[in-house]
Each structure stands twice: as C-alpha cells, then as structure tokens.
Structure 1
Amino acid sequence: MPGVNAGATLRFSCSQLVVDRLDPLCPACNPGVVGSPHLHQIVGGNSFNASMDHDVPSGSTCTSCTPAEDFSNYWTATLFFRARNGTFKRVQTLGNPLGFGAAAGGQTVYYLSSGKVTAFKTGFRMTVGDPTFRTQAQIKQYPMLTFTCLQTSTTRSGSTTNFPTGTCKVGIMVSIRFPTCWDGTNLDSPNHQSHVAYPSGNRCLSTHPVSIPQVFYETIWDTSPFNDKSQWPADGSQPFVWSFGDKTGYGNHGDYIFGWKGDALQKAMDANCNSDLLGNNINCPVLKSQSLQQGNQCTKQRIVKDDLDGWLTELPGGVMMS
C-alpha cells in the first residue's frame, strides 16, 4: 500500500468544450442568467450551463477530458490580440505539445498532492484570482497565477504575473494554481474563495485545516500568428488583452466546479497516481480513461451568439478596455 507521505500527480488533457459568454460563478451575475459580462473558454463535462444547479456527473453525457470519470468544468477568460488599428482577433488555444498535441485546444489539468489529501465533495466549487486587478501590488495576493513566454515547447523559466512584453515563438502559457486548504465544511462561499486558502509554508492553518488536491491549469494560447510587431500598438506596448478588458494580465483568474463520478478522484489520490492520462492509465489503474480523440469529440453549442470569428471592432459583450 502506498505510503501516506507519497504524492500524486495527475496530468491530463481537456479539449475545448465551448467558448461562450457563460459563467455560473460570476460574482456580478445572477445565477442562471444567460450572458455573463465576458467571454470564457470552457472544458470538461458537456452539462455546463449558466446556473450549474444540477448534479454534474449525471447531467453530462460526455467529457472533453481524458479521465473518463471526470465531468468537472474548468474555465478561464479568453485571450484577444489588439491590433494597431484598434480591432480585436480571438487567440486560439493549443493542445499541449508536451504529450497532448493532438488535443483540440483546451488546457492541461493537474491534480497534485504531497501527502494525504481529501478529495472534493459533490457540489464543491471555487475560483482564484480577481478580474478587477490591474497592478503588480494587487496580484501579490495570488502569486501562483503566471504567464510564461514560450520560445520552445519546453520553456518553463522566466514566468511573470503580467503579460509578456516581447514576442513568444510558440505561444503564451498561462498557469493557474488553486489553493490547497479547505475549511472542511463549506462547498462554496459568497465570493467563491473564502472557503479555501493557500497554506502557510507547507501547513494548512486552523481556519482551513483540511488538505485538498491542488488543481492546476496550463493553457497555451497560440500567439504566434501575431508576432509581427508592425501590427502591435503604435506605442510599442504588448498587444494582448483578456476578454474582460485587462491589458496588464494582473486580472488573470480561473474557475472550477467539481464533477468527478463517485469516489474516483479520492481513489486516484489515495493510490498516489503519477500519471499522464493518454488513454492507457499509465501508473493509475484505478482510473478509467479515454483517448484524446474521444475528448475532442465532446463539444457543445454556444448559447450566447456573439460574433467570435474574424476581426472585431469590440470585445464580446461590449467590454471596454481598462
């Protein structure tokens, strides 16, 4: 039996499910209202909707993630290129070239532990980051939200908490690490964050005593088509902007709704799985998995019919730059 001090590393692909202006965890929205303030890229189970008031695993008929029992939803804002003439073009996501290049965009998801952890319960949800942040001082509250300018697919140095200022040959990788301590009681909180916390050093504080897996996203945005600096803003500033109007990058944030079937995630954590799930359960026989191609086939139709293709005169939803 694995020792309780061992760690688990689940790393897997979640192909793009849908890009839509929906957000059931938006603090400024009323749950169930269709048309959130800004656009999101969403992966995971195909029951994702504006309210998420259903049982997530049983509500989905497929998942875009390679673990076949994971119907969770993972989502972030969407990236846009802002051209010199003031128009916007949506940036596409890439399947991670380190193992998941055949994925139809989306992101790489990790569940990490360094010892015994308690998996999330049915109904659990959380967010990390703050879309209103625009300064380096503010983002210090969330030091585990970073950007990496990829000159090669293996670049992992030089991360920043703001948008890269130079051209990135392979693209920009956005990393989002969620807190790893839970209050042990609440599955959610009014701001979707207070029920979880980062540890102090390696220990969870008494207010949030329960160790949970660290959920970690890596999203690779294919910025390579926009590396011609003659198209960048005339003042030489970096040209990328989040769908909520942030051109600094400090408003980076991520959202999560737990949707693993039964106790599959707890079993994987208890077994200290250390695995890239590519359809063959490498080092993780307790989990069922599907191929990248099967994950690519799990998609859903957009609900909010914004114009997302071609060059746009404004960000979807009429979001203003800030």
Structure 2
Amino acid sequence: MGRNTRKRRTPLATKAIAASAALALGGGGLIWANFYASAHESNHQSWGGNQTKAATAQVATLSCPDVGQKLTNVPSSARGEVAGELANLDRQITDAYQRLATTRDAQTRDASFVQNSILQPLQDRRKAILDRIRLEITRVGGTAPGDLDTLATCTAQSANQTTAGGQQQGGNGQQNNGQNAGGGQQQNNTGGQQGNGQQQNVGGQAGNGPVAADFVDITKVQPNVQAQPRAQGNASTGTFTTRCGVNANKNHNTDNVIVAPGVTNGAHHTHDYVGNQKINAFSSNQTFLQGGTSCQNRSDLSSYYWPVVRVQDGSQEVDQNQDGGGKEGNVGKILTPSQAQIKYVGSPKSKVVAMPQFLRIITGDAKTTTNGLANANAHWSCTGFENKVQLTTQYPICPQGSQVVRTFAFQSCWDGQNIDSANHRTHVAFADANGNCQNGFKAIPQLTMRLVYNIKPPVLQNGQVKNAYAVDGFPEQLHKPATDHDDFISITKNGLANRIANCVNRGQNCS
C-alpha cells in the first residue's frame, strides 16, 4: 500500500496493545478473535552473509509527519493532482533514506551531517510540494489544513526509537470490533555505535531489516486469542468463498492504483495480485472490467493485492536492480503462497448490504515503523496456532511441520455513499466492540484473507537470525512485521455483489 499515516513519536513504554481480527481457518469455518500479542523484542541487527546480527546505528531511519491523513476533505476534482504530489513526497523520503543508508561513514565523522545534508534539504523539498498541494486544493474551492507547513520537517530516528512497530500513538486507531488492531510490546532497544566508532546498518540483506528482534519462537508465546461477540438474532451468519489462486503466474508490480494513480512504482515495493489481472497505476474504473480474472468465478474481477514475502538467504531476485525491488531494499527470493483463501463473512449484529462497485479498501498501515500502531492490522501466526497466538510486531518462527500464516480482516462498515475517501480510510470503518457499525455506517460483507507460506524456520542464535524472511515495504520502514497491509477493489459483474450479500444474509456457505 502507499502512504498511510506518519504520526509523532511518543516516549517508549512497555504496553501491550489490544488487537482483534477475523481469522479464516482451514477449509471451513471462521474464528472471530480478540488477542493480545505478548512477545518481547529487543535490539536491532546488521547484515552479514545470510545472518542478521545484533548491531545498531545511531540513526536508523527517517520519520516524516503524515500528510495524506491530514487531507480528509480534498475536493474530488483535485484528488488526482494531490495524490501525485503525495507520491512525490514518498519518493523524496525514499531518496533521503537511501542517502542516509549510504553515508554511514560521513555520519560518524560529522555529527551535523544528517541534519545539514539529509534532513534540511528534505524539508526544503517537502515544503515546495506542500505549497503545490495547498494550491491544488484552493484552486478548486477547497480549504487546505492550516498547519500544512508544519508537516515539512522530518526527523532522524535512532534504533531505540524504531520499535518493530510497537509504538502506540494517539488516536482511536484502526479498529476491528472496537479494539486497536495492533499487538506486541513496546521496545527498549539500544542505539549508538559499534566497532571502531563506525555506524552499522540496521540489519537485513540490504541493510534495512529485518533484525533478530523481529522474530519469536511461537511455541514460547503465551496464548493471546480471545472470543469475539456471539451472533445475535439479526446476524448475517453466512460465508462466501472466492477461489482466485496464489499468484502462481507471478503477476507482480510496484504500483498502487488506490493511493498513487498514474504513478509508476508508487508503492516502492512489490505486490502479489490475484483476481483482476490488469491492475496497475494506470488502471481506472473505465478499464477494471476489461482486466480478466484469476478467480474461478468469472464474475469476480475484484483486485486482491498484498506485499510479497521474501526469504533473505543471500539470493537475488529478478528485480534485484529495479525500482521497488533491490534498488529500494526489497531483496531475497519472492515466495508464492501455498494457499490464498479469500472469504466474505457477515455481521454478528445485522444483515449486510452489497458492496458498491469499485469500492476501495486498504487495511493495515505500511508505515507503522515511523507511525506507530494506530492503523496497524497485521496478523502473523503458524498453522496449528492460529486460534491460540496472533502476532503484530514480530514474525513467528514456526515449529517443524507448521507453516507461516498471514491473516487480514478488512473494515466491514461503509458510509453508504463513497467508494473511496481522500485519505483512503474515512469512507469505511471497523465495527465497534459489540459488532455494531457506528455513525450511520452500513454493514457490508467483511473481506477476510488467509495467506499460507512454506518457509524454512529462521534460526535465532546469539542475537543473530539466519535466513530471515520479511514482508516487502517502503525502504525506511525496515521490513517490520507490523507494516503488513492488504488492498482491495471490489469489481463484479452479473449481480455477484448482491449474491454475496444475499448468501451471507441467509446464513449459507457459498462459493
């Protein structure tokens, strides 16, 4: 996914963060679960061969204020231009991070290097784009936020401030049935320098993560899954399963048409695509229906896409020297899921209405490393453990014979009017703790996804991890597990959207 939120940092503290998700399990039912991730993480690492070692850098990454999430009232006629400028901001951050990562020696010799040579130029360039955003909004009669200029300044984050996504920020957060959809504990990592005064990279095959602290043996994590509210009298208890494959044909690109339409490499990382086969930055409502589909149900042309998972074992992928791939720190062998289960489920409190054509939903936050967990919705587990343990801020190391599982439960309440919003969030929401949609929103079939991977378990030893795996992401996000996210565009024909809603409302299990 493209930009989401970039929020201020808060002081480090150890705090478990409530999380909840709908977990589609096996070939059958659905488990609704509240859970608290309880795994401990500490220390950041540096890359050596196929091992991620315990080493830290005084400056690990960059943190820039959110701009996209501030822009909640952009007139529709200006959204295209504004989205392009927001993509320019992402590109600037990527470029600045790459300069940060390639000037470690200069940083050790000059304490002001990061501020003078990276942060100040970045601030000046951001200011110019913010001025253009203000102009685009006011040109069509809109009102830009009054504090837009204050969003130009970025800061450097040290290793003890990048907490594997475990920082809790202000706000209500991205919620699923009323709980913050994050997990894990805040960290107490150590920054500084190592070895002859030289600053080290922050781990990973490309020097931008993951680190040993990002992994945990799932058998050592206490069960943290709790039951969700029971279905009541008017509940919609059915399910609709659509089978769209695992992207075995390797339909990949580094675009994101939802957040960066018309911008090549707008995601700065690689996505798997199933469903619609012609989704890229230049697709539109006018072309979606021409894309064909990988789904067995030929009326399902919806686009389901998510960042790929890679194994950092020292191997090089075909995109090693390409934008969104190795040039931006996304390295290692791309893994194809062994299973990709896509299921729509109902509401425990009410009937659902059909999803509107071309509805866009993004779940999770690709930038939690610098934003905190307010919008996190990442869930990692292992087969055999899904109804016991779910993790947000760590990747699981699964026991022999068990597979890695990523699950997503999308927002299930819709404002009844808009297929998208300026910040790609406010037109949809999660139900509250009792399963009700609030603020006049309508319940829609909840999209749930379960991705399963055959991954040789990484080995943790003496603060090192060998053969790490990680989700693709923006380079400055350090491949933290909490940055996992999922994207969806509802595209159907022949009345499929109504059939999904009717099936769910009747309590049937359809496919």
TM-score by length of 1: 0.69
Structure 1 CA distance for aligned equivalents of residues 312 and 301 of structure 2: 34
Following the alignment from structure 2 to structure 1, what is the Cα–Cα distance between the partners of residues 293 and 315?
Answer: 39
Q: Deviations over 1:212-268 (max 9, x none)?
A: 1111111112213xx3638x8962388222211443211111111111114212123
CA distance in 1, matches of 2:497, 2:451: 22
> Does structure 1 conserve the Cα–Cα contact (< 8 Å) formed by 2:236 and 2:352?
no
Q: Partner amino acid for 2:345?
A: L
Q: Which residue of 2 aligns with 1:311?
A: none
Contact 1:72–1:259 (Cα < 8 Å) also in 2:
yes
Q: Using the alignment, how far apart are the partners of 1:25 and 1:254 within structure 2?
A: 11
Mapped partners of 1:258, 1:233: distance in 2: 47
CA displacement, residues 180-225 of structure 1 (integer Å, 9 cap, x when unaligned): 111111110122111101111211111x52111111111112213x
Tell me by how many angstroms 1:148 deviates: 0.9
Residue aligning to 2:337? 94
Conservation of the 8 A alpha-carbon contact between 2:354 and 2:500: no
Q: 1:118 to 1:170 in 2, by over 3 A?
A: same
CA distance in 2 between counterparts of 1:250 and 1:270 reads 34
SS of 2:498's partner is helix
Extract unaligned runs of 5+ from structure 2: 1-232, 317-325
Q: Equivalent residue of 1:268, what SS?
A: helix
In structure 2, the CA distance between the partners of 1:91 and 1:85, relative to structure 1 (3 Å rule), is: closer
Distance 1:38 1:85, change over 3 A: closer
Matches within 5 A, 1:247-262: 247-262=479-494
Between the aligned partners of 1:171 and 1:161, the Cα distance in structure 2 is 17
Q: Distance in 2 between matches of 1:209 and 1:20?
A: 33
**Map of 1:126 onto structure 2:** 361
1:166 to 397, 400, 423: 397
Q: Deviations over 1:68-124 (max 9, x none)?
A: 21000011111122237999422423343xxxxxxxxxx211111134111111221
CA displacement at 1:126 relative to structure 2:
1.5
Q: Distance in 1 between matches of 2:315 and 2:452?
A: 26
Could you tell me whether the CA contact under 8 Å between 1:9 and 1:110 is conserved in 2? yes
1:23 aligns with 2:266: no
Residue from 297, 303, 316 that aligns with 1:67: 297
Asked if 1:270 corresponds to 2:270, the answer is no
Label 1:55 to 1:262 Cα distance change in 2 as closer, same or farther (>3 A).
Answer: farther
Computed over aligned residues only, the root mean square deviation of the Cα atoms, in angstroms, reads: 3.0
Say if 1:25 and 1:58 are closer, same or farther in 2 by CA, change over 3 A: closer
Work out which structure has the larger RCO, using CA pairs closer than 8 Å and 6 or more positions apart in sequence.
Answer: 1
CA drift of 1:177 comes to 0.9
TM-score, scaled relative to structure 2: 0.45
Match for residue 409 of structure 2? 177
One of 50, 59, 64 as aligned partner of 2:281: 50
Aligned residue type for 1:190: A
User: Please, which runs of 5 or more residues in structure 1 have no aligned partner?
Assistant: 97-106, 278-322
Q: Is the 8 A contact 1:123 1:257 kept in 2?
A: yes
Q: Give the match's secondary structure for 1:14.
A: coil
Assess, with a 3 A threshold, how the Cα gap between structure 1 residues 178 and 56 changes in structure 2: closer, same or farther. farther
Q: 1:85 to 1:94 in 2, by over 3 A?
A: closer
Indicate how the Cα distance of structure 1 residues 119 and 75 shifts in structure 2: closer, same or farther if over 3 A, else same: same
Conserved 8 A contact 2:335-2:453: yes
Partner of 1:241: 470
Tell me, yes or no, if the aligned pair for 1:56 and 1:259 is still in contact at 8 Å.
Answer: no
Report the Cα distance in structure 1 between the residues aligned to 2:367 and 2:236, rounded to whole angstroms: 38
Moved more, 69-78 or 159-168: 159-168
Cross-structure match for 2:174: none
Residues 157-306 of structure 1: matches in 2 within 5 Å? 157-168=388-399, 169-201=401-433, 202-206=435-439, 208-224=440-456, 227=457, 229=459, 235-236=464-465, 239-244=468-473, 245=475, 246-271=478-503, 272=506, 274-275=508-509, 277=511
Are the structure 2 counterparts of residues 214 and 22 from structure 1 closer, same or farther at C-alpha, using a change threshold of 3 Å?
A: same
Question: 1:4-51 deviations in whole A, cap 9, x for unaligned?
Answer: 64422112322116122221123xx3x122223111111102221213
Distance 1:262 1:145 in 2: 33
* One-letter code aligned to 1:172: V
CA distance in 1, matches of 2:286, 2:507: 26
Task: Give the deviation of 1:57 after TM superposition.
Answer: 5.7
Task: From the two aligned structures, give the one with the greater helix fraction.
Answer: 2
2:382 is matched with which residue? Answer: 149
Asked if 1 retains the 8 angstrom alpha-carbon contact of 2:312 and 2:332, the reply is: yes
Shift of 1:55: 3.7
Moved >6 Å (runs of 4+): 84-87
Number of aligned residue pairs = 253
Residue identity (%): 20
- CA separation of 1:233 and 1:73: change in aligned 2, threshold 3 A: farther
- The yes-or-no answer on 1:139 pairing with 2:373 is yes
Question: Residue type of the partner of 1:94?
Answer: P
CA drift at 1:170: 3.5
SS in 1 for 2:372: helix
TM-aligned CA distance change 1:233 to 1:187, over 3 Å: farther
Q: Structure 2: how far apart are the matches of 1:212 and 1:273?
A: 14
| Alignment CA distance shift 1:85-1:209 (3 Å) | closer
Q: 1:56 to 1:270 in 2, by over 3 A?
A: farther
Structure ID, larger Rg: 2
